[in-house]
Amino acid sequence: MAISPEILCESSPRIFFSRLEKICGAARDVFLMNPQWTATQREEAEILIRKYAENATSESGKIFIASGGSGGKVRFVAHTSETLEASARALSVALKLPAGTPLNCFACLPPWHISGLMPWVRSRVCGGALFVAENGSFREAGALPDFRKTADEFWMNSLVPTQLRRLLARRDGAAWLGQFDFILLGGARVPADLIAQARAENLNIGIGYGMTETASLVALWRPENGETLAGTPLLHAKFFISGNPGRIEIEAASLGETLSDAGTVLPNPGGRFLTNDEGFSDENGRLIVLGRADRYINSGGEKVDPAIVENALRAAGATDTLVVGEPDAEWGERVVALVRVPVPADLLPHVRQRLPAWMVPKRIVPVPALPFDGKGKLDRAKLAELLQS
């Protein structure tokens, strides 16, 4: 017997959370839709929802959260109240909150993404208040919202790097951010200069490693971990490294399940999720993420890790950079570096002293900003445009 899952597609975060509260209270299956999707993306989502409705025999209160994946095609990950709650409680433990201390959350990310949904989950699970910002872009110059009532409250905020940079550029931004007891940054590309700026303002920050499939973070970097972004695993998660170089596998109480193209929910093989990230565990048990497996550049048979080249460019004076491969008739791919202006005049000579010849960028592309979207993910269309220009 087919079912009729709820479809939640609201541009107003306050209305979104209000409707979600009622749907979850009724134990209905719900699909979270992005109101900013194109017609094609919405059609992809509706086809998947229709197939799921035809296959499912009963509703179990699943929350289907969209994940675009590296290929850009709409996918859904099925979570339950148990997987979401496991993620929230693990973060509460990592923050060393005394038992019974409410975790109050400021919500300013799109709630149809896992990063924007989790503040709602954390506040519910940990007995705290939820402040919902209707406009979390922080582009406008108006007054920043008052959210704090008493000095002894514990408040956290979840931001992507773009939001943090905009706030720190405001005259009143650093003081406002200082009201938060903890600021969680998205783990996708937090530039070193932004980390340094936040620490100079004495902001208590952390960088989470996680994804939609893991209900947000499963490892957390704190400043005491040093310059290497090594995340300490949260208590609900275990990491395994497979292959050489090592692909990261995750075992966690917060693991969701992927909705297949056929509309069926696929369990994780062996209870583990195989990521597309490469990394290793250090002697202290911390997870070090080297980068995505699909980012490697093959130039003339030599395998180039873009992260190594990016670190060398920054050490040579580049403010921020993105290293990619582009087609080359002779070498298959050549190494190209997008560098945020101003570009140091002696950048390449310094890099040549640090790297073997096959790793040195064959082209430097000065750019006003790197091609990452508001969530810190690579905008491939913008990247192609910058490379062509």
**What pLDDT, in 10s, does the model give residues 112-131?**
999 999 999 999 999 999 99
Q: Is the pLDDT of residue 65 over 90?
A: yes
Topology adopted by domain 296-388: GMP Synthetase; Chain A, domain 3 (3.30.300)
Torsion angles phi and psi, residue 18, rounded to 5? -65, -45
Look at residues 296, 356, 366 and name the one whose alpha carbon lies nearest to residue 332: 296
CA distance 207 to 158: 10
Beta bridge pairs of residue 8: 32
Average pLDDT in the 342-366 region? 91
Q: Does residue 188 have a pLDDT over 60?
A: no
E strands, 234-331, in order = 237-242, 247-252, 257-259, 265-266, 273-281, 287-292, 297-299, 302-304, 321-328
SS3 label, residue 333: strand
Nearest to 14 by CA among 122, 147, 131, 166: 131
For residue 1, pLDDT beyond 90 = no
pLDDT at 308 over 70: yes
- Location of structure tokens 């995340």: 231
The fourth-level CATH superfamily of domain 81-292 is ANL, N-terminal domain (3.40.50.12780)
Residue-wise DSSP of 217-241:
EEEEE-GGG-SS-EEEEPTTEEEEE
pLDDT at 226: 75
Q: What is the pLDDT of residues 191-246, one digit of tens each?
A: 778 899 999 999 999 999 999 999 999 999 998 887 767 789 999 999 999 876 68
Q: What is the pLDDT of residue 374?
A: 63
User: d(Cα 10, Cα 279) in Å, to the nearest integer?
Assistant: 37
Task: Give the whole-angstrom CA distance, residue 36 versus residue 55.
Answer: 28
| Alpha-carbon distances, residue 369 vs 109, 141, 299, 341, 342 (angstroms) | 21, 21, 26, 8, 11
Contact 54, 15 (CB under 8 A): no
Task: List the strands of the sheet with 6-8, edge to edge.
Answer: 6-8, 30-32, 63-67, 75-79, 257-259, 265-266
Could you tell me what percent of the chain has a pLDDT over 70?
94
What average pLDDT does range 42-63 have in this prediction?
Answer: 92
pLDDT reported for residue 192: 78
Give pLDDT, residue 134: 87
Q: Kindly tell me if the per-residue pLDDT of 3 is higher than 60.
A: yes
Alpha helices in the chain (DSSP H): 13-25, 39-55, 81-94, 114-125, 161-169, 173-177, 192-200, 306-315, 347-352, 380-388
Domain assignments of the chain as residue spans, ordered by start: 81-292, 296-388
Which residue bears the tokens 């007054």?
143
Closest CA to 259 of 62, 18, 26: 62
Closest to 289 in 3D by CA, of 345, 373, 352, 233: 233
What pLDDT score was predicted for residue 19?
96
Give, to the nearest 10 degrees, the angle between helix 13-25 and helix 114-125.
60
Q: How far apart are CA 209 and CA 204, in angstroms?
A: 17
> What is the model's pTM?
0.80
Cα(309)–Cα(322) distance, integer angstroms = 9
Highest-scoring range by mean pLDDT, 87-91, 168-172, 273-277, 356-360: 87-91
The residues near 283 (Cβ < 8 Å, ≥ 6 apart) are none
d(CA 95, CA 87): 13
200-213 per-position pLDDT tens digit: 999 999 999 999 99
